[in-house]
Amino acid sequence: MSSPRLPNRVLDTLRVWPLVAGVAVIIGIGTWMALRAQNQADRARRAQTVVERLHADAQALDALAGHAAVARLTGDLTIGEVVLQFAGPGTLLFRQTERDLDELRELAPGEQTETLATGFTRMLDRIASLEHDAVGGGVSAAVAAQQEVVRPLMTRLEEILQRVGAEKEAAAEEASRRAHIAVLVSVAGGMLLVVVLSLALARMRRRASVDREVRAVERRSEERIRALVEHASDVVTVVDGELRIAWQAPSAQRMLGGRPDARIGTPICDLVHPDDRGRVDRQLGRCLAGAGTQTFTARVAHDDGTWVHVEVIADNRLSDPAVNGLLLSLRDIGERRALEEQLRHQAFHDPLTGLANRTLFGQRLDAALTAASGSDKTVALLFLDLDDFKTINDSLGHEAGDELLRIVARRIASVLRAEDLASRQGGDEFAVLLCDVDDERAALTVAERLAEALRPQLELSGRALNVSASIGLVMAEPGVRAEELLRNADIAMYSAKSNAKGGIRVFEAELHRLAVDRLELGSELIHAIEDGQLVLDYQPIVELASERITGVEALVRWRHPTRGLLGPGQFIPLAEETGAIVGLGAWVLRQACTEVQRLRTTQPGCEQLELSVNVSIKQLRAGDFPGLVAEVLQSTGLPAHALVIELTESLLIEEPSETIGELERIKALGVRLAVDDFGTGHSVLSYLQELPIDIVKIDKSFVDTVHTSAEQAKLVAGIVQLSESLRMEVIAEGIEEAAQADRLRSMRSRLGQGYLYSRPVSPEAIAALLAPAPARAASPH
């Protein structure tokens, strides 16, 4: 645990006092050095003065001795007068000289001073001896001594005095210079430290001001954070190292009921649903072990005994003294899970009839075939197609047709066992999976019961109707695949329909020719691309509020030389199976971009037209598809932002890890991506956000009853709102009635397409639809 930091004010004070002390020390040292240097200068000048006096003393002595000697030689003075001359002034000069020598020794001790003193002593001795020489040896001896001994000594002393005087003068000047320098340095250093001290004090004032502002901001931030925590929809919880609740935000009362402080000390797992505890223990254990932030879902107990679905984000903050535990953020995802459950149910069930859809049926069929492989029982498959449904739908309307499908679904389900499964394959086609069947006879009995259940007369729109269905039956052979079984049942059903309505046909070997025929059709498809037998129609995509056409979806048709015009449903599955879809898809992409760009550049009103092209997942994973898109855009001139690539939802999520990279490369070109037939696969919007999707196309099965079913309308509204929150555009498919469009507009669904606005038409017809009003009036279309 780190030591607490000192307050800034204390730190600033600790920094300033050394500066103050430094100023005092520097000024004191400078003053001491100046005084010391000045004292040395004074002593040098006093020594220099003493040297000057000694020089004068020496000259006076020399003069006195010389005068006495000369006066005696010339007869001006008697011997007694010479003695008196030395006895009076001479004695005074000797004493003065001795005092000066003592003072010089005190002021400037050293070898030069001692040499000078020795010289003076010798000279004084020699001068003193002049008296003796004058009295005892005569004047001539005294004069000779004065000239031969005293004069040289005097000359030597003068040289020494001049040298010592010069040294003392230089020492005095040097000491004075040092004194001045010391004063200047101390003043400059003191001023510098005063400036630094001033800056430090100013910084302290600024720091104090900033500290006050920071504390004010921190107080406001703490108050804001406290308010956010208390009123946030997420519940912040802290658990200790033993996974016991140490603190919980007040917002927990809204989510879980009860008082948050009543749960303090409770093990967090005691609040978790028993089925979720093992998983929560593992996730929190990983977080404690330092595995990083953990995100998971769980059911947490409400105070009223119910369970709340929450998403938990766990972060290890044991090293943070302010937390000292795991920081958990709990978010209520009940509404999201309910919507996901609805979407998941919709993904596996037909919204109109409530029966299983093709996806769920395929999964159950695979499972039944696997189970039957080790059993003496087998699997049978029934494929039903209502007779004359199109006539009923067209004459009585879609609502009557939808009601008929619901009645048929209920009648089919009424004769099946619990282990069997009925599904709506699409349109008026149904499939029934019979599990654990003894033999073909038992399966035929069920088929007959189904046919019988459909025969009773029913009433629709005030009309009495009789309904029948053509049924194909196939028995599973060992090793047969689900796709093959469905195909054979479909072949048997078409055979029954061609023979007589309401009949039952068992798939037999001779019907294999039909399967071969389909394979032949698949091989012919390859030549159809080369021979120019494929054409494109375009279905408009409109803005629901203004009904203005914003884009078109390209739909391929096959003008077969012998079979006539074939829709995509008749040959696209074959193309998928044979691999011809790659070449066919490349042709559709290039042709559609060429035709739409021609419309954009030559037809008035088409300048902003956007193009949607369906792409198979096999195309996406075959070769360099993003490179193909880039090459087509460059060669046709169509702007990348005008192209939308549509992929089917169920195909997108089969192997997302292999798909995301290709999608990202396509997105990098500026092309947008759409998920088609949303709601018919396995995914949910929260999963799709992991893919780089721009547009969600709501499947027609959602739109069919959006205006008549409150539950369906709520589901579609939820998809629209979630799509908006994920920044995805929404397009509603299959709009056939104005009431559907009105309901979608009220949900803020911006775009849609369907027969209400236009069937798929040629490029020329699209140009006519987009032409300005006068041009449309003059157009033969």
Residue 228 has pLDDT above 50, yes or no: no
Residue 761 has pLDDT above 80, yes or no: yes
In sequence order, the β-bridge partners of residue 592 are: none
Confidence of residue 142 (pLDDT cuts 50, 70, 90): very low
243: closest CA among 299, 343, 189, 316? 316
The predicted structure's pLDDT at residue 37: 65
pLDDT digits (tens, 9 = 90+) for 272-312: 999 999 999 998 989 988 888 899 989 999 988 899 899 99
Confidence of residue 685 (pLDDT cuts 50, 70, 90): low
**Which of the pair, 314 or 682, is modelled with greater confidence?**
314
The predicted structure's pLDDT at residue 629: 96
**Which of the pair, 213 or 337, is modelled with greater confidence?**
337
How far is 2 from 447, CA to CA, in rounded Å?
80
Q: In this predicted structure, which of 145-159, 554-568, 760-774 has the lowest mean pLDDT?
A: 145-159
The predicted structure's pLDDT at residue 77: 52
pLDDT digits (tens, 9 = 90+) for 531-552: 889 999 999 999 999 999 999 9
The DSSP string of 269-325 is GGGB-HHHHHHHHHHHHHHHTT---EEEEEEEE-TTS-EEEEEEEEEEETT-TTT-E
The predicted structure's pLDDT at residue 489: 92
Confidence (pTM): 0.46
Residue 661 has pLDDT above 80, yes or no: yes
The predicted structure's pLDDT at residue 727: 87
Tokens describing residue 489: 């049942």
pLDDT digits (tens, 9 = 90+) for 466-487: 889 999 999 998 888 999 899 8
**Which of the pair, 648 or 88, is modelled with greater confidence?**
648
Do 235 and 251 meet the contact criterion of CB atoms below 8 Å apart? Answer: yes
Per-residue H/E/C for 561-584: CCCEEECHHHHHHHHHHHCCHHHH
- Give the rounded percent of residues in the chain with a pLDDT score beyond 70: 73
Mean local confidence (pLDDT), 573-578: 80
Mean local confidence (pLDDT), 418-437: 93
**Which of the pair, 44 or 383, is modelled with greater confidence?**
383
Confidence of residue 383 (pLDDT cuts 50, 70, 90): very high
Q: Any idea what DSSP says for residue 510?
A: G
Mean local confidence (pLDDT), 441-455: 93
How far is 17 from 527, CA to CA, in rounded Å?
96
Confidence of residue 553 (pLDDT cuts 50, 70, 90): very high
Residue 1 has pLDDT above 50, yes or no: no
The predicted structure's pLDDT at residue 656: 61
How far is 563 from 533, CA to CA, in rounded Å?
12
Q: Which of 133-137, 224-228, 357-361 has the highest mean pLDDT?
A: 357-361
Say how many residues make up the chain.
781
Taking each helix axis as running N to C, give the angle between helix 8-74 and helix 91-107, from 0 to 180 degrees, rounded to the nearest 10.
160
pLDDT digits (tens, 9 = 90+) for 622-634: 878 999 999 999 9
Confidence of residue 220 (pLDDT cuts 50, 70, 90): low
Mean pLDDT of the chain: 80
Mean local confidence (pLDDT), 752-762: 94
Q: Any idea what DSSP says for residue 606?
A: -
Q: Which of 328-332, 578-582, 612-616 has the highest mean pLDDT?
A: 612-616
pLDDT digits (tens, 9 = 90+) for 34-78: 677 667 667 766 776 777 777 677 667 666 666 555 555 555 555
Q: In this predicted structure, which of 129-143, 581-595, 702-716 has the lowest mean pLDDT?
A: 129-143
Residue 257 has pLDDT above 70, yes or no: yes
Residue 363 has pLDDT above 80, yes or no: yes
Do 613 and 554 meet the contact criterion of CB atoms below 8 Å apart? Answer: yes
Q: What does the buried/exposed string (b/e) look like for 147-182 if buried means 16 or more CB atoms within 10 Å of the residue's CB?
A: eebbbebbeebbebbeebbebbeebbeebbebbeeb
The predicted structure's pLDDT at residue 152: 65
The predicted structure's pLDDT at residue 87: 47
